[in-house]
Amino acid sequence: MTETISGPDALARRPTRTLRLLAGLIAVEILLVGVYLLTTEAAVLSVRYVLYPFVWVNLGVLAVYSVDVPRPSGRRTAAATVVAVLYFGVLAWTTGLVGPGSGADLSVRLVGAMPGWGPILLVGGPVNLTLVPFEVVGYVCLTALVYVSLVRATAGVFSGILGLATCVSCVGPVIAGVFSGVLGGASTALAGSMSGAYAYDLSTALFVVTVGILWYTLRE
């Protein structure tokens, strides 16, 4: 029988691989930012807004890397997959990544922005998509963690929806994740305005807390 190592034990027993992953991510991010600043007329007005996207990406990737994500197989994991996909859909809608379309012809364009924030993929038509790279990566990682929580919640005595509803460690982070998504969407709409100056500070803090809670519940 093969023992699955996850959470803190995984990080403790795989420090070299974990540090290499983090170092690789940071190296790529520094390179991307450097190239962008050298090849455009962009200027850094706020260091924290340059760093926030990479906080989302790095934390999300490392959290998913540190847990055992089971492949969908059987009814239990299939049910968890469906709920996780719906969860991602809620996040995508509340953050503004996905929105109602105008009914116009399909249009696709890229908008340049600081790495992490961009390039932003804009798709118009029956459904509007505004895909900000760090939000997409962050919410995909968050969804993966929720998926693992759902699989574990349905593995006990309580199964199905009843088991999920009675699992506080699963429901709590999901609610926090949706709240974080709502703030993220609001701050996207307010980008560049004074009223939204601190929206991403709070949104990032909530994302960190949500991922931290999920990782903590999955550490063993």
Tens of pLDDT, residue by residue over 78-134, are 888 888 888 888 878 877 788 887 777 788 888 888 999 989 998 888 888 889 999
**Contact present, 182 and 92 (Cβ < 8 Å):** no
Q: Give the burial class of 96: count Cβ atoms within 10 A of its Cβ; 0-12 exposed, 13-18 middle, 19 or more buried.
A: buried
Angle at 185 between CA 180 and CA 186, to 5 degrees: 100
| Predicted pLDDT of residue 105 | 77
The model's pTM is 0.76
pLDDT > 80? residue 153: no
pLDDT at 182 over 80: no
14-49 pLDDT per residue, tens = 567 778 889 999 999 999 999 999 998 888 888 888
> DSSP secondary structure string, 40-52?
S----S-HHHHHH
> How confident is the model at residue 35, as a pLDDT?
93
As a three-state string, the secondary structure of 76-112 is HHHHHHHHHHHHHHHHHHHHCCEEECCCCCCEEEEEC
Instruction: Please tell me the predicted confidence (pLDDT) of residue 188.
Output: 43
Instruction: Check whether 208 has a pLDDT greater than 80.
Output: yes
53 token code pair: 């996207």
pLDDT of residue 164: 42
Q: Report how far residue 18's alpha carbon sits from residue 24's, in angstroms, rounded to the nearest whole number.
A: 10
- Where residue 2 falls among pLDDT bands split at 50, 70, 90? very low
User: Which of 120, 121, 169 is closest to 146 using CA atoms?
Assistant: 169
The answer on pLDDT for 145 being more than 50 is yes
Asked if the model's pLDDT at residue 163 lies above 50, the reply is no
DSSP H or E segment with residue 122? strand 120-124
How many residues in the chain? 220
Query: Model confidence at 13, in pLDDT bands (50, 70, 90)?
Result: low
φ, ψ of residue 64 to 5 degrees: the values are -65, -40
pLDDT, residue 101, reads 78
